[in-house]
């Protein structure tokens, strides 16, 4: 199946009949609009599209409308590399937004770096992503921070020190979170009583959960994506494994609670923002998103929105669509007030920002705490 293409002239009354050089400013986006992690990709794309629509309603950037060309990588290994090549060679975009998943960002990043096309990922938290080169940026926090946040929260807020881990070995994201969670936990007097693994799209976790239950943990760290986590929670409940489950931003999808129901009740995960935040800017974003999509935004939506806004802000500051100048402007981003926090890009092209911890209560994601860098 070929990747699908979405072309968006958001906020324009009518798209130009020809998209020749100089008439529009083309931005590329690659996301999982379909496939195993489609909930993430669609949410991120929705936030990005809303941002572009708002920007075009205000005149675009540098006096020109913005064209967003979106490629669906279908959540498939290998597909991300193919669609990124298309965006660069066929569509000749000036910069690229994406991907949400670290593994797919690691496919696209080397191609962007080789072609000197700025790439800004909304949500890939694995440290290796920006290590690819000086044209690769992110606006989310990193796995070392997120893994440490959850280990610290587990020990200090919940008082849990005997922890089991159930990790997705097929996802760089999950492997990275596990590494940093373990490092903080064991360095501060905690113990990993059992470490089990699974692979993306597995359905049966009973063997791993039975081994974990036998180790008598106080909590279980499950740094996976929502599809597998929902099944893990259901099967854990069926086995009588009645301890808190902890995770990262990969849990953030309404599908999690729809599938797992009350099996997710009381569990905790780290995330990028909370819809309950009283900041007027965030309240306005939540309201606008609800009006447009008839749903609450999740973290991927907010990160998609912020990534588009930050990229266009860099183009505006660069005063040019020259890729090298856009890269330089992105590197100079300081204290940008986004929906997901105040964002500064450091010398390694990573974002310095805070995280929040949410608890699932009554099927909703309730704010618990903010953790600063």
Average pLDDT estimate for 97-105:
95
Model pLDDT for residues 292-350, shown as the tens digit of each residue: 999 999 999 999 999 999 999 999 999 999 999 999 999 999 999 999 999 999 999 99
Q: Is residue 20 classed exposed, middle or buried when 0-12, 13-18 and 19+ CB atoms within 10 A define those classes?
A: exposed
Q: Are 135 and 327 in contact (CB under 8 A)?
A: yes
Average pLDDT estimate for 153-167:
97
Q: What are phi and psi of 61, to 5 degrees?
A: -140, 140
Give the CA dihedral 252, 256, 257, 263, nearest 10 degrees: -120
* C-alpha pair distances (Å), 314 with each of 24, 164, 219, 306, 317: 17, 43, 43, 12, 5
Residue 150 scores a pLDDT above 80: yes
Model pLDDT for residues 244-292, shown as the tens digit of each residue: 999 999 999 889 999 999 999 999 999 999 999 888 999 999 999 999 9
Note the pLDDT of residue 372. Answer: 78
Average pLDDT estimate for 135-152:
94
Query: Do strands 219-221 and 245-247 pair parallel, antiparallel, or not at all (unpaired)?
Result: parallel
Note the pLDDT of residue 278. Answer: 87
Strand (E) or helix (H) holding 259: helix 254-260
Note the pLDDT of residue 6. Answer: 52
| Strand ranges across the sheet with 336-338 | 336-338, 341-345, 351-352
Q: Are 205 and 198 in contact (CB under 8 A)?
A: yes
Strand (E) or helix (H) holding 55: helix 38-57
Model pLDDT for residues 29-76, shown as the tens digit of each residue: 999 999 988 999 999 999 999 999 999 999 999 999 999 999 999 999
Residue 4 scores a pLDDT above 70: no
Which SS3 state, helix, strand or coil, does residue 261 take?
helix
The span from the CA of 173 to the CA of 164, in Å, is: 18
Long-range contacts of 313-321, Cβ-Cβ distance < 8 Å, separation of 24 or more:
314/118, 315/25, 315/61, 315/62, 315/94, 315/95, 316/61, 316/62, 319/62, 320/62, 321/25, 321/62, 321/94
Q: Chain centroid to CA 263: how far? A: 24
Residue 206 scores a pLDDT above 90: yes
Model pLDDT for residues 224-244, shown as the tens digit of each residue: 999 999 999 999 999 999 999
pTM for the model stands at: 0.82
Q: Which domains does the chain have, with CATH numbers?
A: 5-141+279-353 (3.40.50.2300), 143-271 (3.40.50.2300)
Average pLDDT estimate for 130-146:
95
Residue whose structure tokens are 């070995």:
169
Note the pLDDT of residue 21. Answer: 53
């Amino acid at each position: 199946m070929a990747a699908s293409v979405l072309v968006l002239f958001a906020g324009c009354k009518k798209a130009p009949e020809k998209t020749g050089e100089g008439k529009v400013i083309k931005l590329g986006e690659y996301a999982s609009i379909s496939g195993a992690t489609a909930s993430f990709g669609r949410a991120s794309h929705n936030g990005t599209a809303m941002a572009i629509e708002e920007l075009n309603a205000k005149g675009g950037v540098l006096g020109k409308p913005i064209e967003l060309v979106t490629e669906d990588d279908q959540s498939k290994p290998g597909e991300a590399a193919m669609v990124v090549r298309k965006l660069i060679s066929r569509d000749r975009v000036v910069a690229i937004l994406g991907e949400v998943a670290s593994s797919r960002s690691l496919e696209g990043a080397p191609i962007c770096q080789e072609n000197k096309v700025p790439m800004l990922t909304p949500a890939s938290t694995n440290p290796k992503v920006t290590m690819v080169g000086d044209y690769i940026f992110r606006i989310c926090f990193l796995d070392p921070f997120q893994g440490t946040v959850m280990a610290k929260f587990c020990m200090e807020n919940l008082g849990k020190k005997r922890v089991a881990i159930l990790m997705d070995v097929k996802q760089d994201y999950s492997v990275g979170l596990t590494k940093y969670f373990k490092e903080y936990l064991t360095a501060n007097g905690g113990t990993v009583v059992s470490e089990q693994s699974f692979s993306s799209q597995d359905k049966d976790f009973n063997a791993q959960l039975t081994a974990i239950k036998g180790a008598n943990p106080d909590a279980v760290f499950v740094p996976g994506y929502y599809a597998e986590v929902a099944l893990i929670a259901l099967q854990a409940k069926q086995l009588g494994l009645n301890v808190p489950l902890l995770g990262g931003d990969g849990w953030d999808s309404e599908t999690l609670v729809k599938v797992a129901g009350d099996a997710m009740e009381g569990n905790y995960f780290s995330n990028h923002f909370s819809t309950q935040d009283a900041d007027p800017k965030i309240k306005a974003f939540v309201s606008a998103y609800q009006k447009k999509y008839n749903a609450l935004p999740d973290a991927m939506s907010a990160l998609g929105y912020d990534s588009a806004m930050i990229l266009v802000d860099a183009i505006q500051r660069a005063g040019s669509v020259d890729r090298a100048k856009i890269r330089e402007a992105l590197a100079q981003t300081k204290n940008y007030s986004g929906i997901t926090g105040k964002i500064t890009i450091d010398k390694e092209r990573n974002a310095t920002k805070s995280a929040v911890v949410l608890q699932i209560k009554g099927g909703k994601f309730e704010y618990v705490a903010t953790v600063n860098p």
